[in-house]
Homo-oligomer: A and B are copies of this chain.
Amino acid sequence: MEGEHRAGTSERSSVGPQAEYDELVRRSRERALLGSCSSLLGWDEQTYLPRGGSSYRGDQMALLAGLHHERATDPSLGDMLARVEGSPLAAVPGSVEAANVREWRRQYDRSTKLPRALVEEIARATTVAQGEWVAARAASDFARFRPWLEAIVGLKRREAECLSAAGSVPYDALLDEYEPGASVADLGVLFESLRAVLVPLVEAIAGSHRNRPAKPEHADYPVDRQRIFGEAVAGAIGFDFGRGRLDVAAHPFCSGIGPGDCRITTRYDPKDFTDGFFSILHEVGHGLYEQGLDPSHQGTPAGEAVSLGVHESQSRLWENAVGRSRAFWEHWLPLARQVFRDPLHAVDLDAFHASINRVEPSLIRVQADEVTYNLHILIRFELEQALIGGDLPVADLPLAWDEKYRRYLGITPPDAASGCLQDIHWAAGLFGYFPTYTLGNLYAAQLHARADADLGGLDPAIARGDFAGLLGWLRERIHRQGQRYRAADLIRLATGESLDHRPLIRSLRAKFAPIYDL
């Protein structure tokens, strides 16, 4: 009897809210672990996978996606979640527990709306399509890629339908995957405000009496030296190579595979070191965020990045606000002159600074300057709404793409490789992802302005090669917060201001007015 009584007590405690919360944590970590295996396979696919392994890689990704989905939609998970949601544990606003429960609910509701077969099919199709995209881009052959893109658009439309409430915009459901809470309606207003300022700014720069600064001299930048220089700067900024690495990929990316394993990639142009270098800085910004997450919450929302927009704010901040600043090159140009002696030994700091901030409408998004960049995003944002909404057949994409480039940037791609085949995103099924790049630029400008004010001016330290103050500020305000708050709230808490396009405009004017004497 006494034995039974004890068993009863223990059973009650083992199913109380705390015990159920602990079980939710355990399962969340198991899903993260499974997801980390997919991440490694995805990284490998873009770095080292032999051509002939692409189709089997698709099967591997589909299997792991299916196993993940099975766990993410387990009805017992939903039951536990419902009980913990109603308990005091989840009731403290701003607590780790409340944040985890809120985000698990969001994930569970999204996952249970998607059939496992669709999840697996998307994983398989996007894996193979990325290999096909590489080949099609190399041949600048849209027709070759078209059936794959049609299949993926079809799959993503089905996904959006599954996820959308009746009467809502299907594209919003895709956007929500990357930027929880964002909507076409809100973003449309923001993008329009930006466009209204950027287009005249681009025109003013084009009409400036100042000569457009020369491009960085195209010369001989040996790839091994680019890599050594890039790693030196990345390490100095704070990227930990004991817990990460740098490789080469056709499309630079960062993958936070797990705690202690964050991988960035770049690509090297032997005739121009800035392309590969700024890609490294960009991915380092992502990597610092991943490496700065709170390890005690690893595998749960509180230990994960909050949104892609905020993720992009970190990469943009280091790439542009820091890496394209005059102060940054005060410190690093002397080393660059030693490493790339022939092309750089005689270059002057101001001329170099102007050359890496040259503004000019161009065809390739990832090489675009800070002013025109968001117009590239606007084009993709509009096109993918049309593709997902069913208003634009994939077959008509190249024409629609070229038309928008003519309209917003005044230029026309000579071929598909520098047109609608330039990005890997759609091959990877990433619809709703592009707008987070512009959100990132907006957040980055707000964060940089606030850090500059809080720390009494960032430039002097940056000019000494000291990045610890800025990194510490970002660690505390952003990285360690994980998903404790949604992105919009996190930015408000960090900067004291809501999302706003004006800080970005101010920072662009502050940088480009002197360069172009506007």
Q: Count this chain's copies in the assembly.
A: 2
Across the interface, do B52 and A64 meet the contact criterion of CB distance under 8 Å?
A: no
Closest B-chain residue to A258, C-beta based? Answer: B56
Closest Cβ–Cβ distance, residue A116 to chain B (whole Å): 14
Closest B-chain residue to A62, C-beta based? Answer: B33
Which 9 pairs show the lowest CB-CB distances between chains A and B? A53-B261, A52-B260, A52-B243, A56-B258, A53-B260, A52-B242, A51-B242, A33-B63, A50-B245
Q: How far is the CA of A260 from the CA of B262 in the complex (A)?
A: 27
Q: Which residues of B contact A374 (CB under 8 A)?
A: none
9 extra A-B contacts, CB within 8 A, seeds A40-B41, A48-B245, A60-B258: A37-B37, A40-B40, A40-B60, A50-B243, A50-B261, A53-B261, A56-B258, A57-B258, A67-B67
**CB interface residues, A 243-280, toward B, < 8 Å:** 243-245, 247, 257-263
Q: Which residues of B contact A518 (CB under 8 A)?
A: none
Q: Which residues of B contact A240 (CB under 8 A)?
A: 52
Closest B-chain residue to A36, C-beta based? Answer: B60
Determine if A49 is an interface residue (Cβ-Cβ < 8 Å). yes
Across the interface, do B57 and A261 meet the contact criterion of CB distance under 8 Å?
A: yes
Across the interface, do A37 and B64 meet the contact criterion of CB distance under 8 Å?
A: yes
Across the interface, do B56 and A260 meet the contact criterion of CB distance under 8 Å?
A: yes
Q: How far is the CA of A52 from the CA of B287 in the complex (A)?
A: 14
15 CB contacts below 8 A, A to B, read A33-B60, A37-B37, A37-B60, A49-B261, A50-B241, A50-B242, A50-B244, A50-B261, A52-B240, A52-B242, A52-B244, A53-B259, A53-B261, A56-B258, A56-B261
Across the interface, do A53 and B258 meet the contact criterion of CB distance under 8 Å?
A: yes
Q: How far is the CA of A44 from the CA of B258 in the complex (A)?
A: 14
Closest Cβ–Cβ distance, residue A222 to chain B (whole Å): 13
Q: How far is the CA of A242 from the CA of B41 in the complex (A)?
A: 18
Closest Cβ–Cβ distance, residue A95 to chain B (whole Å): 26
Determine if A30 is an interface residue (Cβ-Cβ < 8 Å). yes
Q: How far is the CA of A63 from the CA of B40 in the complex (A)?
A: 14
Determine if A34 is an interface residue (Cβ-Cβ < 8 Å). yes
Closest Cβ–Cβ distance, residue A392 to chain B (whole Å): 35
Identify the interface centre among A55, A60, A242: most chain B CB within 10 Å of its CB: A60
Closest Cβ–Cβ distance, residue A239 to chain B (whole Å): 11
Q: How far is the CA of A40 from the CA of B56 in the complex (A)?
A: 12
Q: Which residues of B contact A247 (CB under 8 A)?
A: 48
What number of A residues sit within 8 Å (CB to CB) of B?
37
Closest B-chain residue to A241, C-beta based? Answer: B50
Q: Which residues of B contact A176 (CB under 8 A)?
A: none
Q: How far is the CA of A56 from the CA of B49 in the complex (A)?
A: 22
Closest B-chain residue to A259, C-beta based? Answer: B56
Closest Cβ–Cβ distance, residue A296 to chain B (whole Å): 14
Identify the interface centre among A59, A241, A245, A247: most chain B CB within 10 Å of its CB: A59
Closest B-chain residue to A49, C-beta based? Answer: B261
Determine if A507 is an interface residue (Cβ-Cβ < 8 Å). no
Identify the interface centre among A34, A37, A245, A257: most chain B CB within 10 Å of its CB: A37
**CB interface residues, A 55-74, toward B, < 8 Å:** 55-57, 59-60, 63-64, 67
Closest Cβ–Cβ distance, residue A127 to chain B (whole Å): 13
Q: How far is the CA of A52 from the CA of B298 in the complex (A)?
A: 15
Closest B-chain residue to A45, C-beta based? Answer: B40
Q: Which residues of B contact A53 (CB under 8 A)?
A: 243, 257-261
Q: Mark A485-497, 1 if CB is under 8 A from B, else 0.
A: 0000000000000
Determine if A54 is an interface residue (Cβ-Cβ < 8 Å). yes
In-complex Cβ contact of A260 among B40, B50, B241 (8 A): B50
Closest Cβ–Cβ distance, residue A380 to chain B (whole Å): 32
Q: Which residues of B contact A50 (CB under 8 A)?
A: 241-245, 260-263
Q: How far is the CA of A50 from the CA of B259 in the complex (A)?
A: 11
Q: How far is the CA of A263 from the CA of B47 in the complex (A)?
A: 14
Q: Which residues of B contact A261 (CB under 8 A)?
A: 49-50, 52-53, 56-57
Q: Which residues of B contact A63 (CB under 8 A)?
A: 30, 33-34, 37
Closest B-chain residue to A257, C-beta based? Answer: B53
Q: How far is the CA of A106 from the CA of B330 in the complex (A)?
A: 68
Q: Which residues of B contact A243 (CB under 8 A)?
A: 50-53
**CB interface residues, A 310-343, toward B, < 8 Å:** none
Q: How far is the CA of A173 from the CA of B258 in the complex (A)?
A: 36
Closest Cβ–Cβ distance, residue A37 to chain B (whole Å): 5
